[in-house]
Amino acid sequence: MARIALITGGMGGLGEAICIKMAALGYQVVTTYSPGNTKAEQWLASMKEQGYDFRAYPCDVASFESAQECIAQITREMGPVDVLVNNAGITRDMTFKKMDKVNWDAVIKTNLDSVFNMTKQVCDGMMERGWGRIINISSVNGQKGAFGQTNYSAAKAGMHGFTKALALEVARKGVTVNTISPGYIGTKMVMAIPNEVLESKILPQIPMGRLGKPEEVAGLVAYLASDEAAFLTGANIAINGGQHMH
């Protein structure tokens, strides 16, 4: 039986690259999309044309009940989840002075609460089966902070605290828990940044002088999900072109 890999928010730039990489390695790939996303069917169809038979389920990752229903349905229809990639995330950038409770809550719920909501549904099963991979997609800005991102940086740093504590609890059960912290990757979200800002502010901070590629992060996810990575747990792996070293 092919292992089942669930990638949350798999229809975005990075999520899509992870889905494609995992499928190429023989995983049965499942993803989630926000309820009300009208382009989900279109995305699945375009992936099918490229030869990828992905399954997608609506899930509000910020809601525990929605996560519960979604994973129950996946388990019924596909089988238990072996690899969970917590990739779904949003930004609501503004200075702390301007930040209101609504924009704080939205980012914490979608980026951090979601990690609890999704992991809670699959972790016990992984432990019982004696094999599992939980991979949390954080950000360089969770490590070094970013102007206008108190909400996002807090959520992304919180992800790694979760990783370390859970890794300790499940280490003897064949389940690993790790964090990946990408820098600036050439996704739609980053490409939306005005070109002059990229050229003058962001690229000069990156020793490699370029944005990362989604495929480069996907390759790291694939390694962490592999049998070879069985001794690697509780780690935060930075993949940022040398922008932030620690």
- What tens digit of pLDDT does each residue of 110-134 get? 999 999 999 999 999 999 999 999 9
pTM as predicted: 0.97
pLDDT number for residue 228 = 98
E-only strand ranges, 131-192: 132-137, 175-182
| Angle in degrees, CA 238, 144, 199, rounded to 5 | 85
**How confident is the model at residue 25, as a pLDDT?**
97
Report how far residue 36's alpha carbon sits from residue 83's, in angstroms, rounded to the nearest whole number: 26
Taking the C-alpha atoms of residue 126 and residue 105, their distance in angstroms, rounded to an integer, is: 30
| % of the chain with per-residue pLDDT over 90 | 93
Confidence of residue 246 (pLDDT cuts 50, 70, 90): confident
Determine phi and psi for 57, rounding to 5 degrees.
-130, 140
Q: What is the pLDDT of residue 1?
A: 79
- The residue type at 82: D
pLDDT at position 110, please?
A: 96
Count of beta carbons in the 10 Å neighbourhood of residue 16: 22
pLDDT band at 150 (very low <50, low <70, confident <90, very high): very high
Element (H, E) at 7: strand 4-7
Q: Of 114, 137, 126, which Cα lies nearest the Cα of 169?
A: 126
Could you tell me the domains of the chain? 4-238 (3.40.50.720)
Q: Where are the beta strands (DSSP E) in 95-218?
A: 132-137, 175-182
pLDDT of 136 > 80? The answer is yes
Between the two ends of the chain, the Cα-to-Cα distance in Å is 40
Residues carrying an active site annotation: 152
Mean pLDDT is lowest, of 3-12, 172-181, 191-200, 231-240, for 191-200
Answer whether 139's CB lies under 8 Å from 184's CB: no
Helices 150-170, 101-108: crossing angle, 10 deg rounding: 30
- pLDDT (tens digit, 9 = 90+) per residue, 201-225? 999 999 999 999 999 999 999 999 9
pLDDT at 193 over 90: no
Mean pLDDT for 186-191 is 84
Distances (CA, A) of 210 to 144, 203, 205, 240: 19, 6, 10, 10
pLDDT class of 232 with cuts at 50, 70, 90: very high
pLDDT at 223: 98
**pLDDT mean over 73-90:** 97
How far apart CA 184 and CA 239 sit, in angstroms, is 9
163 with 234: CB under 8 angstroms? yes
| Exposure string over 220-230, b if 16+ CB within 10 A, otherwise e | bbbebbeeebe
Q: What is the pLDDT of residue 214?
A: 97
pLDDT at 189 over 80: no
Mean pLDDT of the chain: 96
